[in-house]
Structure 1
Amino acid sequence: MDYIDRRSMKKIWWIWLFMMGALSTLAAAEDLTQQAEKEYRQGKYLEAADTYKKMLTEGQESAQLYYNLGNCYYKLGENTQAILNYERALLLNPGDRDARYNLQMAQSQAVDKIEVLPEVFIVRWYKSLVAYFSADQWAYISIAFFILFLGMVALFFYSSTAALKKTGFTLGIVILFFTVFSVIFSVKQYRRITERDYAIVLTPSVTVKGAPDNSGTSLFVIHEGLKVKIIESLGEWVNIRLEDGNEGWVAKRDIERI
């Protein structure tokens, strides 16, 4: 009996330590958040940015944190860093209208104005739909649709009239269709977050090469703040594609992944 009591006390002790550690972590995070918000209100944008970056190093990544950090850099006149952090905020929360508006404001000050290749309406609509919600939000939507689908299955099997059975069958097929697509959209958004194949140019002026080497043919010049897609990597070089379809190689040090 004493052995059992000692084991129980040990479990309680470890649970208590875990709870105390979690509470202290939450308290520290809240203290840093309040500190950063106070520094921002006082116009100490550099100090606020440093506090937000400290929170990131401690693993407190969130769309709101990146948005706040972007605001700090925008106030400091560091437009490229503002763009980078607004993009990261939108990566985690595509529906953040404030982050999207501020990103557009920051991008309006960038040097390069790239003409986007026209897309078929259905493709453009599809991409907008996928990006409207985050991976977690699409996952919740798929769960909700699946629960509705189970309800329609129950309606089909347990209804006493043919009309209700037909309704359950028809709606069940439609809801299953939405469930499958919600799962697909969730996976696509999750891959966007994990793969992060877009980047922001950090160097004021970069000459894009035709080969992954300094001796490669110079193709064109791009400037800081420009968003590019990473196609492949080779050593210290990456092959990038612009929104107008142009491609080439730049050094890894010239860009930072979103």
Structure 2
Amino acid sequence: MKRIILSYLLLLSAFATSYAQDSLAVAQTDSLTPSDAAVSAVANKTSDNAAVGQAIKLYDEGDFRQAIDVLEGEMKAQKDKGLESADLYYNLGNAYFRVNDLAHARLYYEKAQLVNPGDRDTRHNIEYVTTKIEDKILVADTFFLSIWFRAVQNLFSSNTWATMAVVFFVVFIGCLVLFFFSRLISLKKTAFYIGIVSLVVVIFANVFAFRQKNKVQFRDTAVIMAGSASIVSSPDINSKELFILHAGTKVAITKEDRNWYEIEIDNGSVGWVQKDKLEII
């Protein structure tokens, strides 16, 4: 009977490990140092990547437009390989911020946060850029547990949560083995309580990993890129205008109809906008 239990646990362990290996590939590049004190400063690093090294040099010289061109070229090269880099997106956000293109700055900071949700510098820069955007949208009241759940989920990427799930699952298996096979009552009790905690962590870590991975794979948020975008009541150019959004505002995409997206903003308002007015994060 004990052999059957151990075999079953080993199968579960293999399944958990395979889940962790099925994670998104994320490339790492260098971070630029923005000269504006309001935007988080991250020390320059040496790099084996010639393109990134060139962009850092151009950025330090104040040639932000050329740095943007180089970084966007590197971004395209990485995308062709199926890779994404939070640092590269962050660098692009910094460069666009320096040329006062708040829409692109917000877009790339949001992309960086999507890939690496726990980065404090990125979160700070998003908050700062948001204060510069014309639209000041109050967030609708949300149940505090939902806020807490999302906050914890956004501490780490899907890769980190998946790795954590595997580690604690191994701990859980070890605790089960001790519980079933140890002859010491005190050790059995310790293994039982640690095993319970480990199992809870495994469950939540897997849920968070799944949700974070879905956020990256099925992207349903966007940034308004046009100077102003008319939000209307239906996917028709002649429909009633409900409100106007401006460059840099983040929206959630809820539906799609031909050349239109139905979007929702933080205060709960919903409407339709033409696709060419925004860019998906």
Q: Same fold per TM (> 0.5)?
A: yes
For structure 1, the residue ranges without an aligned partner over 5 or more in a row are 1-27
Aligned pairs (5 A) from 1:173-184: 173-184=196-207
Residue by residue, what CA displacement relative to the aligned partner does 1:126-156 show, whole Å, maximum 9, x if unpaired? 1111111111111111111111111211211
The number of equivalent residue pairs is 231
How far apart are the structure 2 equivalents of 1:254 and 1:92?
24
In the TM superposition, residue 238 of structure 1 has moved relative to its aligned partner by 0.4
Amino acid at match of 2:52: T
Partner of 2:73: 54
How far apart are the structure 1 equivalents of 2:264 and 2:101?
24
In the TM superposition, residue 106 of structure 1 has moved relative to its aligned partner by 1.4
Structure with bigger gyration radius: 1
Which deviates further from its counterpart, 117-126 or 225-234? 117-126
**Paired-residue identity, %:** 36
8 Å CA contact retained: 2:175, 2:195: yes
How far apart are the structure 2 equivalents of 1:198 and 1:123?
18
Write out the 4+ residue segments of structure 1 that deviate beyond 2 Å after TM superposition: none
CA RMSD of aligned residues (A): 1.3
How far apart are the structure 1 equivalents of 2:122 and 2:152?
18
How far apart are the structure 2 equivalents of 1:234 and 1:132?
34
Q: TM-score, structure 1 length as denominator?
A: 0.87
Partner of 1:35: 54
Partner of 1:152: 175
Q: TM-score, structure 2 length as denominator?
A: 0.80
Task: Tell me which of 219, 222, 225 is aligned to 2:245.
Answer: 222
Amino acid at match of 2:269: N
Residue by residue, what CA displacement relative to the aligned partner does 1:35-94 show, whole Å, maximum 9, x if unpaired? 111111111111111111001111152000000000000111111110100010001111
8 Å CA contact retained: 1:29, 1:55: no
Amino acid at match of 1:253: D
Partner of 1:20: none
Amino acid at match of 1:51: V
Amino acid at match of 1:245: G
Partner of 1:197: 220
Amino acid at match of 1:213: D
8 Å CA contact retained: 2:84, 2:115: no
Aligned pairs (5 A) from 1:17-166: 30-59=49-78, 61-166=84-189
